[in-house]
Amino acid sequence: MKKPIYKYENLLRDINELKKTYPQTPVYSIGKSVDGKELYAIKIGNGSRKVFLNGCHHGMEWLTAKILIEFAKDISCEQSTMSTTVYIVPMVNPDGVEISASVDGWQANANGVDLNHNYDALWELSKQTELSYGIAEPGATRFGGEFPESEPETRAVANFTRQNKFDAAFALHSQGRVIYYDFCGIVPSGTEDYLKRFEQVSSYVRDVPDGIASYGGFKDWFIKKFRKPAFTIEVGKGKNPLPLSDFDKVYSEILPILYEAIK
Ligand SMILES: [Zn+2]
C-alpha cells in the first residue's frame, strides 16, 4: 500500500477550512500550475513589514505545504496583534506533489523542470553544472528549464514577489535541519540577526551550499535581485519524502523559527 501524502486536495480542504474560520483572511490564486491547479496565496496580518513564506517548490517536499497551512491557521487568530503582514504560498508545485505519489524521486514540475533551479540567479552557471552532472533534459530533478522563469509556477512566484516588495523571504524545503542564507557570498544586512535568533530557538544550523544547489533557486534570486534577507530552510531529518507521521515532530521544531521569521 502507498504511504499517505499531503496532496493538493488536502491543501484545498485546509484552505476552505481556513476561509470558514477566518473569513477576513484573504486567500487568492497567484497563477496556475502546468496542469492548471491554482497556486494559492494567503495574506495574514496588516503590519507595515512584509514577509513571504513559501513551501513545496519540490514535489517530494509536500510536508512543507502542510507545515505552512498549519502555521497560517495558528497565526490567523492573532493577526490583529501582528506587526508584520505575512504572505504564504504553501504549495508552489502541486503537480510535482501529485507526480511524486507515483514516481519515486520526483521533485520537478509537470514539465520535468526543477523549479528551484529555474530562477534568474546565475542560471547559466547552473546550466553548466547540470551538464557536468549529466543532466541535459527534463526529468525528475535538477533540470533548470530552457530559460529563467520558463515555468508558470516560477513566473507566478517571481511576479508575486516583484509586486509585493517583501522585506524578507523564507522558502521551506526538506530535509536536513539546516538554513541556507547567502547567494555567492552576498549576505544582505539583517541576515545575521535572523540566523542568531533561529539558532537560539532551534537546533537548526546555518550552512552554505555547494555545487548545483548554489544557483538558480528562489532564495538566490531574492537575494540577488532585492538584496534583502532570504533563506532556504531545510526542515526535518531523514529521507525524502519525509513521512506524514513525522509532521508533529517537524512542526514543533520549526514553529519557533517561523515565529522568529514573522517578527
Ligand atoms: Zn527542496
Asked if residue 2 is part of any domain, the answer here is: no
In a domain, 46, yes or no: yes
Question: 193 CA distance to ligand 1 centroid (A)?
Answer: 24
Domain assignment present for 83: yes
Cα(7) to centroid(ligand 1), Å: 16
pLDDT tier at 16, thresholds 50, 70, 90: very high
1's grid cell: 500500500
d(CA 204, CA 5): 25
Q: Work out whether strand 38-44 and strand 84-89 pair parallel, antiparallel, or are unpaired.
A: antiparallel
Query: Cα of 236 to ligand 1 centre, how many Å?
Result: 12
Tell me how far the alpha carbon of residue 22 lies from the centroid of ligand 1, in angstroms.
30
Q: Three cell numbers at 97?
A: 506533489
> 176-220: per-residue pLDDT in tens?
999 999 999 999 999 999 999 999 999 999 998 776 667 899 999
CB–CB of 133/212 below 8 Å? Answer: yes
Q: Which of 152, 169, 174, 180 is nearest to 222 (CA)?
A: 169
In tens, the pLDDT along 31-76 reads 999 999 999 999 999 999 999 999 999 999 999 999 999 999 999 9
User: For the segment 140-156, what is each residue's pLDDT rounded down to a tens digit?
Assistant: 999 999 999 999 999 99
CA of 12 to the centre of ligand 1 (A): 22
Residue 233 included in any domain: yes
Q: Is residue 3 part of a domain?
A: no
Please count the other Cβ atoms lying within 10 Å of the Cβ belonging to residue 8.
Answer: 21
Is 126 contained in some domain? Answer: yes
Q: Looking at residue 227, what DSSP letter applies?
A: -
Distance 257 CA to ligand 1 centre (A): 18
Tell me which H or E stretch contains 212: none
Q: Which three cell numbers stand for residue 130?
A: 547540470
Domain that holds residue 91: 8-261
Q: State the Cα–Cα distance between residues 247 and 160, nearest whole angstrom.
A: 28
Does the active-site annotation cover 234?
yes
Over range 235-240, report the average pLDDT: 97
Q: Is 145 within a domain?
A: yes
pLDDT of 1 higher than 60: no
Domain CATH number, residue 226? 3.40.630.10
- Is 40 among the residues known to form the active site? no
Give the distance (Å) from ligand 1 centre to CA of residue 190: 24
Count of domains forming the chain: 1
Spatial neighbors of 98 by CB under 8 A, at least 6 apart, are 7, 8, 35, 59
Average pLDDT value over all residues in the chain: 96
Which of 6, 215, 251, 260 does the annotation list as catalytic? Answer: 215
Provide the 8-state DSSP code for 213. G
Q: How confident is the model at residue 26 (pLDDT cuts 50, 70, 90)?
A: very high
Residue 213: what pLDDT? 65
| Residue 212 belongs to a domain | yes
Catalytic residue selected from 98, 149, 234, 260: 234
**In angstroms, rounded to a whole number, what is the distance separating the alpha carbons of residues 81 and 262?**
12
Question: What is d(CA 206, CA 177) in angstroms, rounded to the nearest whole number?
Answer: 9
